[in-house]
Structure 1
Amino acid sequence: MIRSFFLFFTLFSTAIFAQDKLNLIPYPQTLQMTDGTFIIPETLNLDSNLPKNETEYLKKRLGSGIKWKDVKGKDAHLAYSKLSNAPAGKDEFYNLEISPSQIIIKSYTQEGYFRALQTVIQLLENYKTEKKIPAMKIEDHPKFAWRGMHLDVCRHFFTVDEVKQYIDYLAMYKLNTFHWHLTDDQGWRIEIKKYPKLTQVGSKRKESMIGAYVDNTFDGKPYGPYFYTQEQIKEVIKYAQDRHITVVPEIEMPGHALAALSAYPELACTKGPFEPATKWGVFDDVFCPKEETFTFLENVLDEVIDLFPSQYIHIGGDECPKTRWKECAHCQELIKKNNLKDEHGLQSYFIQRIEKYVNTKGRKIIGWDEILEGGLAPNAAVMSWTGVNGGIEAAKSKHFAVMTPGAYCYFDHYQGDPQSEPNAFGGFTPLDKVYSYNPVPAELSPEQAKYILGVQANLWTEYILDFKQVQYMIFPRLFALSEVGWGTADPKNYKEFENRVIHEFKVLDRLNVNYAKSIYNITGKVVSSQQGIAYELSTSQNPEGIRYTLDGTVPSARSNAYRSRIPIPKSLTLKSAYFEDGQLKSAVSTQPFTISKTTGKNITLEQQPSENYSFGGALTLVDGIIGNVKQLGKTWLGFQGKDVAATIDFGNKTAFSEVSFNTLENKGSWIHLAKSAKIFVSDDNRNFKMIKEIGKEDIQNAKGKIKANVGTQNAKYLKIIIENAGIIPAGNPGADSKAWLFVDEIGAN
């Protein structure tokens, strides 16, 4: 089937930016300009010995934008030469030479030829208007073997044609792995012939959560049944294979199993009944590690392995609460019988049994980094999502790892100012942050670094209702991921990359892709100044076009022109926007400031926040910006299992009588109010006196918004210790896991 993605393709170009690099994404490893130009002919002659399948793809991509014909020999404008004896790791290598007479591709494999075609297509696009391409030589290959994108089809479902479009995007930018998340609590999306109730029961739910998690509201509309038949699965796999993309299926276990348990409740530790989840989050009912469960999972995996030719089968392994296992007589007996340490050991037992079975089929397992719990299965690979530590631990123990830390690679996070973005899961992962990521942790030796397979971004779809929103969330961040995975990202020259991104937007426009324009909007950053704080504004456009107000009014072309950082001497609301030729070209950004005696003061933390929720560092706690419950990644600091111990240096002895701070509660996301807090003062930063203790009940009554009367104080240092709730108790989402503590804005007045 030739879809509009191909039929709509038209070759075009605009003037190349005044920059050193050509407009190519990902940028090649080596590119050398040579003498002369290749004149783009009205009809492109394709050598008849070009690899057939890949050349058919090229013709479809060209669509009606250019004519072509097949020829033999020297009259070909596009020719191919197969190299022999490929060195290890060079399957995707290609050599591209553009001379005044020809475009010649050389590669060891058809995969390498296909990667080269993406570069040729981009060059034809870039120079269509000029009708000539400068002569050049490119030698190119990726740094990482695994360059992936994930798609969750369980929370919200996408059609076969939409999944194919997703695969097209990966192919265009030289990604090579599609991770298909097919089962979860909210839906089972793959036909398993031996267990028809999985799709009869598990592929639908009675309603869906809507809005932000803290709103706790539902749409009241049945969702489904939605699933892929095995014939449709085969169709998608073939489509991906034609584009040299490996499809890795994910079948979740032992947690995230409610949809399966709804169909077959006998596989749980309790009797049920169960239903596919209507909320997002983590649930206590998981697969029970009994023989009938393993028989069920082995039968499911048999059908999955028959369908998917990938070397790796993803078995999930993440976010598995141990509540039911602790209460289950069978599980406790199994722990004793196998001399397991605890329920974490039982998780390892579960994963290792599954791995042994998958290995008998000639395949390997990969799972989220929780499969490290209790000991890693002998041949398993780890997908490191909670941070980089899972990947480091795997590589140091000579296990392969794919790096996909949430702080850099979760594309369900906000990518621009949350107030001007569609509702997202949380977090803050803008384009420049994705581009800055290095998948090889500095802690690894060169030998250990060989176990880092590559990098992947994940798209979870709790808040993504349709495919237009999928497009919005992956673009333009997919461009940054592409270059990170190829190994040519250069964070020091981010602006140059940003120029190439803006140029590539024209391709997305031609393809009618709904990409995010967040980089056009104004971004703000709080910095310390001698007077307290100042606010720096920036944009991908000419900064002279920024206009702002300090009185809360909407800026116009006649408002204050931004020249340098703006002092914030008092509580106020700053609004900013970008104008071009007197016309508004961006969303209006709004930033309220609440100033206290701590604002902008030097602050130190004894323990650092999680990387996912560390935006702005310690200054976030005294930046004058009150945390917004829907902007977790930008206006709060998040600590998992850690207390907050912050010391603020006023600079001089300062009088105050009230101390304030905010903590957050969102139990569905494992975020709990602080357990307690203690406030201290000191004049030498060594000897501290406690002036206030705040108990759990006081924090709960205040709903986390604390304003504590501390009497008349006059001190140089203020210290506050905010105690984490600790291990999440049974009966709560994430039970037995470390609670998150979110804190913002420590004030004194």
Structure 2
Amino acid sequence: MIPEPRLLRPLSASYEHARGAIVSGPVELADAVRVALPGLDLLPGDSGAVDLRHDPALGAEAYKLVLGSRGVEITAGGRAGAFYAGQSLHQLLPDASYRFSADGSWTVPGVRIEDSPRFAWRGLHLDVARHFFAKREVLRLIDLMAVHKLNRLHLHLADDQGWRVESRTYPLLTEVSSHRPRTVTSLRGDPRTYDDLPHGGFYSLDDLTELAAYARARGVVIVPEIDVPGHASAILAAYPALGATGERHEVLDHWGISPAILSPLPPTVEFLATIFDELVGALGETPYVHIGGDEVVLDRWAASSEITAYRDSLGLGSMPALQSWFLRRLADLLAERGSRAVVWDEAFVSGGLRQDTLVMPWRGMEVGRRAASAGHDVVATPVFPLYFDYAESTSEDEPRALGDVITVADVAAFAPAPDHWTDDERSHVVGVQAQLWSEYIPDAGTLDYRAWPRACALAEVAWRGSAGEGFTERLKAHLGRLDALGVRYRPLDGPRPWQRRRPHRPSSYTMAELMERLDQMTHDAESTRPSV
């Protein structure tokens, strides 16, 4: 099974499972099991092939599962626990049970499982700004996350290359900011090359409502991200007055760090407050909203006399301090709406965050350790080994990727809360998340290839805290389930012929080149950090 349960003991009896089996117990729990294992029938009362009981003392995501001659007994701490029990029951059945056409019955050896997750945040990040993925692809990703007990879908909805969500108050965000005329195909080399194909798309607010409801039924929380104040080219293409200079920008057709930056003045705060209201209104209960704070170029703030005067009026001594004030102001707005702010680690390095702001240390876990020691909750997101837009080998057969090399084994070996950290620092690591940046993920097939089976290793680490014994052999068996589900994953021994790199693809950045760049970024950020 993947992820492997904390306790799994075989029993001498067996259980005969068939489609149409009766599930009985509390309706909310029974419905969760039916979502996890289609083909069950609900019977109000307390007698069925699958009997459920509620024990809140277990914890919301915990469950106990016993299969034997009397059928299936599930005790769950909450709806999520019942759902995960259903997923574990499903994995005990043959691969064919994952096909819609499955019928008949299967004999399942008796087993006792007692299980609960190590981390509360078990996430996947999907960048829909660089390349847009239609609603059906997001729904499918939610399904695959649920199979693996992953429970946070971080949607990167805004960046220089596109704005991806409807705003009824600011309609130019979809009319202007949601599309670009072309996309770069080779960053390395001069001049750049482009595909000259328009690209775009966005989710309506009704789409977000549907996605959130679908996700909640499967134990998944959607975490929307509006990345500010940098990476703002798409916003400023529609509403240039929100920028530091007032000049009009274009939706970018290439990747990299842009000098485009939102102004920190009150009209920008009012704009973002409205966007937050629309997001939360569409998503419903929204415990987290990501506000970015990464790769911000402050030159245009420093060059603006109006922004400098505003900074001085706030009693702030530097532009990094103003950025910290701006992000804290947004976090306060989110708190008023019942949401916690989440940021990338540059925002922590700048200082001044609300204490309840979650930090994602993408530049390395030592930055995460500093955030944890300062009392911030941390979701482990380091480039190595959790950037799944990177290649899985140096072979020329590998499709185009941002960098190399991150393997399934690298992910399985990752420790989100390292042993050498103090107990207090480890207690602030609330989860782990892999990133699917989409500069070189243009379609659903490539998304499958990049995500799976590395996300299987992620699920194991996120649920257990580390990969369990025999993970590699369990993964090989698990691929049959992915086949039945129609996942176009990367085989463990390399890409299939039709998945191989096409000619004339640009080379990837090496890991050494990337780490040198990250070290320089960290050094630059430290040199501009305001003194306490």
TM-score by length of 1: 0.65
Counterpart position of 2:463? 486
- 8 Å contact from structure 1 (residues 38, 102) kept in 2: yes
Q: 2:331 aligns with which of 347, 355, 360?
A: 355
Q: Corresponding residue for 1:16? A: none
Of 431, 435, 441, which residue of structure 1 is paired with 2:418? 441
Q: Which residue of 1 aligns with 2:143?
A: 168
**Paired residue secondary structure (1:133):** strand
Structure 1 residue aligned with 2:194: 218
Corresponding residue for 1:337? 313
- Select the residue among 92, 116, 137 that pairs with 2:112: 137
Equivalent residue in structure 1 for 2:129, among 154, 158, 163:
154
Aligned residue pair count: 515
5+ residue gaps, structure 2: 98-103
2: CA distance, partners of 1:203 / 1:353: 26
Match of 1:82 in 2: 54
Identify the residue that residue 394 of structure 1 maps to in structure 2.
371
What is the identity, as a one-letter code, of the residue corresponding to 1:57?
Answer: V
The secondary structure found in structure 1 opposite 2:180 is: coil
Residue of structure 2 in register with 1:230 after alignment: 205
* DSSP-derived class of the 1:428 partner: coil
> How many Å separate the matches in 2 of 1:72 and 1:334?
63
Aligned equivalent of 2:215: 240
CA distance in 2, matches of 1:124, 1:105: 16
1:416 Cα shift? 2.4
In structure 1, C-alpha distance between the alignment counterparts of 2:514 and 2:161, rounded to whole Å: 29
Residue 135 of structure 1 and its aligned partner are, at CA, apart by 1.3
In structure 2, relative to structure 1, the CA distance for the partners of 1:195 and 1:636 (3 Å cut) is: closer
Query: What secondary structure is seen at the aligned counterpart in 2 of 1:482?
Result: helix
- Report the 3-state secondary structure (helix = DSSP H, G, I; strand = E; otherwise coil) of the residue aligned with 1:416: coil
**Corresponding position of 2:340:** 364
Cα drift, residue 220 of structure 1: 1.2
Match 1:255 to one of 225, 230, 233: 230
Cα pair distance change 1:191/1:585, threshold 3 Å = closer
Q: Cα deviation per residue 1:85-129 (whole Å; 9 max; x = unaligned)?
A: 425xx2100000111221111012111000111100010126979
The AA in structure 1 aligned to 2:339 is R
Q: Note the alpha carbon deviations across 1:528-578, whole angstroms, 9 max, x for none.
A: xxxxxxxxxxxxxxxxxxxxxxxxxxxxxxxxxxxxxxxxxxxxxxxxxxx
Selected match of 1:108 from 65, 77, 82: 77
Amino acid at match of 1:454: G
Kindly indicate whether structure 1 or structure 2 has the higher relative contact order, using CA contacts under 8 Å at least 6 residues apart: 2
Could you say which residue in structure 2 is the equivalent of 1:199? 174
What letter matches 1:384 in structure 2? P
Identity %: 31
**3-state SS of 1:373 partner:** helix
Is 2:303 aligned against 1:426?
no
Tell me how far apart the structure 2 counterparts of residues 457 and 482 of structure 1 sit (CA, whole Å): 10
Q: Give the whole-Å Cα distance in 2 for the aligned partners of 1:442 and 1:167.
A: 32
Summarize deviations over 1:470-525 as a string: whole Å, max 9, x none: 1111000110000110025337x5xx2122112111112122211011x2149xxx
CA separation of 1:74 and 1:298: change in aligned 2, threshold 3 A: closer
- Tell me, in whole angstroms, the C-alpha distance in 1 between the residues paired with 2:96 and 2:203: 41
Structure with a larger share of its residues in strand: 1
Contact kept? 2:16, 2:71, Cα under 8 Å: no
Counterpart of 1:123 in structure 2 is 92
Amino acid at match of 1:520: D
Unpaired segments of 5 or more residues in structure 1?
A: 1-23, 63-67, 523-583, 590-627, 644-669, 671-723, 728-733, 739-749
1:458 aligned counterpart, secondary structure: strand
Contact kept? 1:29, 1:488, Cα under 8 Å? no
- Alignment-derived partner of residue 508 in structure 1: 482
The structure with the largest helix share of the pair is: 2
Residues 407 and 427, structure 1, Cα contact 8 Å, conserved in 2: no
TM-score by length of 2: 0.90
1:269–1:457: structure 2 CA closer, same or farther, 3 Å change rule? same
Q: Deviations over 1:604-649 (max 9, x none)?
A: xxxxxxxxxxxxxxxxxxxxxxxx9824335767424769xxxxxx
- Alpha-carbon contact 1:253-1:317 (below 8 Å) kept: yes
Q: Pick from 360, 366, 375 the counterpart of residue 383 of structure 1.
A: 360
In structure 2, what is the equivalent of residue 325 of structure 1?
301
State the alpha-carbon separation in 1 of the partners of residues 20 and 194 from structure 2.
56
Q: Does 1:305 align with 2:182?
A: no
3-state SS of 1:434 partner: helix
Offset of residue 57 of structure 1: 1.4
Retained in 2: the 8 A contact 1:202–1:262? yes
- Measured on the aligned residues, the alpha-carbon RMSD in Å equals 2.9
Q: 1:274 to 1:421 in 2, by over 3 A?
A: same
| 1:34 corresponds to | 11
- State the 1:213 CA deviation: 4.0
2 CA distance for matches of 1:74 and 1:332?
A: 68
- Pick one of 232, 235, 248 that aligns with 1:273: 248
Q: Secondary structure at the match of 2:279?
A: helix
What is aligned with 1:6? none
Query: Per-residue deviation at 1:311?
Result: 1.2
Q: Return the offset for 1:322.
A: 1.4
Matched, 1:630 2:507: yes
Q: Deviations over 1:664-695 (max 9, x none)?
A: xxxxxx8xxxxxxxxxxxxxxxxxxxxxxxxx
| Alpha-carbon offset, residue 244 of structure 1 | 1.3
Residue type of the alignment partner of 2:75: K
- Residue 53 (structure 1) aligns with: 31
Q: 1:213 to 1:376 in 2, by over 3 A?
A: farther
Task: Name the CA distance, whole Å, in 1 between partners of 2:35 and 2:518.
Answer: 51
1:42 to partner: Cα distance: 6.8
Of 443, 449, 469, the match for 1:466: 443
Letter in 1 for 2:7: T
Letter in 1 for 2:128: V
Answering whether residue 265 of structure 2 is matched by residue 287 of structure 1, we say no
